[in-house]
Structure 1
């Protein structure tokens, strides 16, 4: 079968699955920007991650569904944000009231420095990372790119997260996964692996929830 025909059939299958996805339908009904929102909602329901007054950094935020949830959880009765929300992504993101957004590549030092500048002298309560590289289809290369983002997010946490803060990051099971988990355990007192219902069964992704940094 020609490659183009295979790709066309694959695209059609993805579109059909996407249209019929109950989380896609629900996200549209409830006004969220992406189905991935239900991954964070489930994680938050189980782990009680987000509370008013927090400083939250959302890495890999676009299109902004996770940031929408953070804003909802930090909002007071008057609708105003009680706390600080900083979101960043390499892609543009439509504004969300009360959220500071930085567009840039987290792998670039200039962008990381700008994020540090925005945070200022605040200590961060919660770091969320739903970052993922553009996938090439070459497993080893994709795993390496993904792992680099995980490692950079961890470095960011060790610099900015409060001692009792929480780090939530998407990790793809495969090459380097077990080593990364061991690194998390070296730096955090509690490390949990979670697979939210909204994560597709065919996906190798899991979410690591790391709590309470050990003595630095």
Structure 2
């Protein structure tokens, strides 16, 4: 790799731009991805602030806009690995908060949080998460996305199925007035999910935080004002 300096936006010092040289064993697309990743300001900021992923800034931006995480809140983070959203939830909920993360993949411990490994569709895993919260959740987060197979229609259906599983758990564990944030992707198959959310929440909006890459089809559903039993 070669590095060259350039002026940062706003004149705040200098920023290093990393140029990735092609390697015989790396295809051009991988080289382009690596260069974009290394020069991504959110990647650099995550490293500087000790966050485990650039995705931490998506939650920061969503919380700054919608005021989702109050001090002392009980937060359930679905698809928590590697832990970037969990770190933000711990910071913002504060010492009196309770943060529980669940993922099918292992993740290193996050100070101040309880991390559980397992499939959230497994009733036993869901019960363990509820027990760890010590009460109903004020906020359920889901930044989950399934492994894709490369077939757009199939991938979208799998994404929606995962989002619906997160929604069903949220409806079961949220306290009155609670909130649910879930990653979805642009497409028509989430209409049923949105109709359900509108019955159970006072407000349902879509948001694409600045940290979400422009070329990505991802967006987030932000549902607030949970009403048990629906409207």
Superposed pair shares fold, TM > 0.5: yes
Of 200, 213, 223, the match for 1:200? 213
Tell me the residue number matched to 1:78: none
Tell me the residue number matched to 2:151: 138
Tell me the residue number matched to 2:75: 56
Structure 1: distance between partners of 2:138 and 2:80 = 17
- Residue 188 in structure 1 maps to residue 213 in structure 2: no
Secondary structure, counterpart of 1:61 in structure 2? coil
Structure 1: distance between partners of 2:228 and 2:131 = 25
How far off its partner does 1:24 sit?
0.5
Tell me the residue number matched to 2:129: 115
Bigger shift: residues 192-201 or 173-182:
173-182
Of 170, 193, 199, the match for 2:183? 170
Q: How many residues align?
A: 205
How far off its partner does 1:34 sit?
0.5
State the Cα RMSD in Å: 1.7
Ranges of 4+ aligned residues in structure 1 off by more than 4 Å: none
Structure 1: distance between partners of 2:81 and 2:183 = 15
How far off its partner does 1:8 sit?
2.1
Q: What does 1:59-78 align with in structure 2 at a 5 Å threshold?
A: 59-75=78-94
Tell me the residue number matched to 2:227: 214
Q: TM-score, normalised by structure 1?
A: 0.89
Tell me the residue number matched to 2:61: 42
Structure 2: distance between partners of 1:179 and 1:172 = 14
Of 28, 50, 54, the match for 1:31? 50
- Return the structure number with greater helix share: 1
* Structure 1 residue runs without a partner (length 5+): 76-80
Q: Is the 8 A contact 1:107 1:149 kept in 2?
A: no
Q: Is the 8 A contact 1:140 1:175 kept in 2?
A: no
How far off its partner does 1:215 sit?
4.7
Bigger shift: residues 100-109 or 176-185:
176-185
1:164-198, Cα deviation, whole Å (9 max, x unpaired): 00001101112413332222212211001100001
- Residue 83 in structure 1 maps to residue 102 in structure 2: no
Bigger radius of gyration among the two: 2
Q: Is the 8 A contact 2:98 2:133 kept in 1?
A: no
Q: Is the 8 A contact 1:169 1:209 kept in 2?
A: yes
Of 192, 198, 206, the match for 1:179? 192
1:127-168, Cα deviation, whole Å (9 max, x unpaired): 011111011111112111111111111111111101100001
